[in-house]
Structure 1
Amino acid sequence: MRASLYILACGLLLTSAVAADPPRQWTSSDGKSKFMGNLVEFTDKEVKIRRSTDFNQYRVALDKLSKEDQTYIRSLLREKRRDSGLKEGAYADKITGQFVKGVSKQGLNYQFWGSPAQDGTKRYPLVIWLHGSGQSGTDNESQLGGAPKIWTSEENLSKQPCFLLAPQCPSADIGWKNKVADNLLALIADLTEQLPIDADRLYLTGSSMGGFGTFSIAAKYPQVFAACVPLCGGGDVKNAEILKPIPFWVFHGDQDDMVPVERSRAISEAVKQAGGERMNYTELAGAGHGITGIVYPRTDLHEWLFRQKKPAPSTN
């Protein structure tokens, strides 16, 4: 073993074995040593690598590797944690096939749905439901209100299995904005870290105050959601440029006597005028404010929504 390969000198020589992962180049933390090898085992403290030149295995402390190698190992640890997240970890007790109550680290009430029959090695979409003003409060029950349950019906899950998150806004006076929005995004991020959720298929939808919240949260966090479905809400037309890359399907009843249909018309048109080619707007003739029972059962909506996926980051 060369003296320059000090990164291996601190390792323990082991018997050779076949590593499952393909070989990659590993670099020491000071950048002086590089070698090809297969990753055999890993923890958050050390790795076991089978060196390609002699097929011997060595244990190496994680902090003796380059930042790039450490990031790679931590990404593997993340995926391993998510693979087992349905049965172990922070949210395993929420995976029952029923809606289960919880309180986030930031104090946001929510109910969560996940199925223990799901395959932890696969990645599933997450649908986030934002309720209207009348379901605000602290009981952690009112936010279900019937509308979210359509997503977890046996028929829909047979076509598209998913997770569902139903947070509860603490006060209609606050709404889905400011700290409430920040707390919600922190919860979504934590769920995505701990469970087999496809971070490229996070879908945001809501009605009335939740429709407004869908627009405002998407504008505040435009890189997060793969698609948005606001019902009988509205958005700030000044955010049209920010919103234009996001796939939207907006619904509003033309006889809505609580939120004027012009609110959805205006933001939809503003996004289109800004060049938003993924803005879809459906106006329901003769429909009033309560349109969740009309919209959410639509097969074409489900088919459209679950096709949406965030594009890969540009390398330009």
Structure 2
Amino acid sequence: MNQAKLSATIALVLCFAVAKAQDLKKYDKGSYIKGKDSIYYRILFPENFDPLKSYPMIVFLHGSGERGNDNEKQLTHGGKLFLKDKFRKQFPAIVVFPQCSSDSFWANVKFESGTSGKRVFNFATGGKPTKSMHALLGMLENLRDKPYVDKSKVYIGGLSMGGMGTYELLRRKRKMFAAAFAICGGDNVANVRKYKKTPLWIFHGEKDDVVPVGLSTEIADQLRVLRVQPKITLYPNDNHNSWDSAFAEPELLPWLFSQQR
């Protein structure tokens, strides 16, 4: 490739990167601070937003790699999904991406090293929420009480650590969410009965070597025990990044927004 073509290619790549960054700036920056609770979030309002109308609200929880306090990294996975023109026209909704602090975790879970060297996840069945979960619970109540949020159409979803946080929110706030989806997450099966009535779509990669697929299949099995037919999609060739496949599911968002309390 000659110098002129190389320069043109670099310029094109830079322009594309800048355009994507500008798109993510459509998410306004917000924060919830009350007492000892503080949490940053990004929020996307529908096009032609009218505060006198009410809209569905979806909250998305990121994975452990996007923790921090920059109020940006949490948009890494999923942020562009909700910016697509098709989504914004078909499902006018308020989209919220909170950010977990780097010294906390969404779910109340402890890690141990197993005999194979892999992490073993021990999920709590009760107890106090983590620092970030406690702040998240306050933030959710605050946002849900806004007059422009349709309380019958509040949704939660997340990936990895955020999938674990999704399950925890479902058990802590049993009457808040109309539906949920969890990607490569996990929970203690003893908690499943607490959210068996909430429509839930589970996703996981069968080759996941970070969060074992068994954590998702055990939840699905427990739902069957509770006489609930689980909605679960497993990807035979996916490792931990099964969120790419889940986000590409054409029925995910139509299914989600068809649910209401």
Calculate the TM-score normalised by the size of structure 2.
0.77
> d(CA) in 1 for partners of 2:170 and 2:70?
26
Measured in 1, the distance between the counterparts of 2:25 and 2:105 equals 31
Counterparts of 2:103 and 2:258, CA distance in 1? 32
Q: CA offsets per residue over residues 162-190 of structure 1, 9 Å max, x none?
A: 11110000136433451322321221222
Alignment partner for residue 281 of structure 1, among 232, 248, 254? 232
SS at match of 1:111: strand
5 Å-filtered alignment, 1:1-316, equals 98-105=26-33, 106-115=37-46, 117-171=48-102, 173-177=104-108, 178=129, 179-277=131-229, 279-310=230-261
Q: In structure 1, how many angstroms separate the alpha carbons of the residues matched to 2:25 and 2:259? A: 25
Q: Name 1:28's counterpart in structure 2.
A: none
Q: Alpha-carbon deviation of 1:155?
A: 1.2
User: Structure 2 regions of 5+ residues with no counterpart?
Assistant: 1-23, 109-128
State the Cα distance separating 1:116 from its structure 2 match.
5.4
Distance 1:156 1:119 in 2: 18
Q: Offset of 1:299 from its aligned partner? A: 1.8
Letter in 1 for 2:254: E
Local SS of the residue matching 2:227: coil
Distance 1:185 1:280, change over 3 A: same
Q: Root-mean-square deviation (CA), in Å?
A: 1.8
**Identity percentage over the alignment?**
30
**Higher relative contact order, structure no. (Cα contacts within 8 Å, ≥ 6 residues apart):** 2
CA distance in 2, matches of 1:117, 1:176: 35
Distance 2:83 2:259 in 1: 18
**Partners of 1:169 and 1:97 in 2: CA distance:** 19
The 8 Å contact of residues 244 and 272 in structure 1, kept in 2 or not, is answered as no
What is the CA–CA distance in structure 2 between the aligned matches of 1:192 and 1:144, rounded to whole Å?
21
SS at match of 2:145: helix
Count of residues in correspondence between the two structures: 214
User: In the superposition, relative to structure 1, how do residues 253 and 204 fare at CA in structure 2: closer, same or farther (>3 Å)?
Assistant: same
Amino acid at match of 2:30: G
Larger radius of gyration: 1
Post-superposition Cα deviations, 1:20-65, rounded to whole Å, max 9, x if no partner, equal xxxxxxxxxxxxxxxxxxxxxxxxxxxxxxxxxxxxxxxxxxxxxx
Report what 2:5 is aligned to.
none
Cα distance per residue 1:186-209 (max 9 Å; x no partner): 212222222411111111101000
Corresponding position of 1:15: none
Q: Give the match's secondary structure for 2:153.
A: strand
Cα distance in 2 between the residues matched to 1:176 and 1:144: 19
- Runs of 4+ deviating beyond 4 Å: none
8 Å Cα contact 2:105/2:133 also seen in 1? no
Cα deviation for residue 227 of structure 1 reads 0.7
Normalised by the length of structure 1, the TM-score is: 0.64
Q: Are the structure 2 counterparts of residues 259 and 192 from structure 1 closer, same or farther at C-alpha, using a change threshold of 3 Å?
A: same
**Equivalent residues of 2:105, 2:161 under 8 A apart:** no
Distance 1:210 1:150 in 2: 16
